[in-house]
Amino acid sequence: MALWRAFGSRRDSALRDRLVLHYAPLVKYVAGRVGTGLPPHVDIADLVQSGVFGLVDAIERFEPERGLKFETYAMQRIRGAILDDLRAQDWVPRSVRSRAREVERALERLEGRLQRTATDSEVAGELGISVSDLRDTYAQLQLTSVVALDELVAVGRGGASLAETLPDDSVPDPGAVLDGVENRRLLAQAVSQLVERDRVVVSLYYFENLTLAEIGRVLGVTESRVCQLHTRAVLRLRSKLQEVIAG
């Protein structure tokens, strides 16, 4: 806290750099978590570099006198900076974005007709492909799903990101209460409509901060299968959340 007090009173660049070095492990942790859901061609070092800008921004904006926990605030900023850079670089090929829309529309059509969650077999049939091909498609959509879930609560909500609205029971944030409570309610309502395994994957990854490998051990499946489940869950969540907001 002495370093924070000194930085707060002098806003000295040398003090800021000391804070950056002190909290640098947060950047590596967040970049590692985001990177586990991305295709192999995405370099973790690039994510770390983007995350450092988020950390600097968090240090510049943080107000210790509010009594909030810096680590929680910084992780939100770091993740946001990384995702912003992924979007700006547009590392998702156009063909993959197009395929993601096809799968999402197929899910909407099927579940609208069936009035329940469609199985992989039913989705594959709707798309005219095999279940194996569908799961390969989910693997190709990893990058779109990681970025998309962060944007889910922004659908029709004025741009608030998931990172800005996830609850942290130990850290009250009065500035986020009004929109945050409603966004969490909408997200929770959408998550509740998923099948059990999809709910578990979303909860463990985004709310319990488990890695994909750790989730695989919990579910007794491979990490690659968890990637597929994660992508499927996000595509379904996008559809469910839009229904919740429209309703």
The total of structural domains in the chain comes to 2
Answer yes or no: do 9 and 120 share one domain.
Answer: no
What CATH number does residue 13 fall under?
Answer: 1.10.1740.10
Answer yes or no: do 63 and 142 share one domain.
Answer: no
Is the full-model pTM beyond 0.85? no
Distance CA 231, CA 139 (A): 7
- State which of 89, 117, 141 marks the end of a domain: 89
Q: 21-33 pLDDT, tens per residue?
A: 999 999 998 888 8
Range of the domain at 26: 2-89
Answer yes or no: do 24 and 118 share one domain.
Answer: no
175: DSSP letter:
G
Answer yes or no: do 83 and 135 share one domain.
Answer: no
Distance CA 107, CA 110 (A): 5
Answer yes or no: do 173 and 233 share one domain.
Answer: yes
Answer yes or no: do 107 and 159 share one domain.
Answer: yes
Handedness of CA 98, 102, 108, 112 (dihedral sign): positive
Q: 48-88 pLDDT, tens per residue?
A: 999 999 999 999 988 777 767 888 889 888 988 988 887 77
Answer yes or no: do 190 and 236 share one domain.
Answer: yes
The count of other CB atoms within 10 Å of the CB of residue 98 is 9
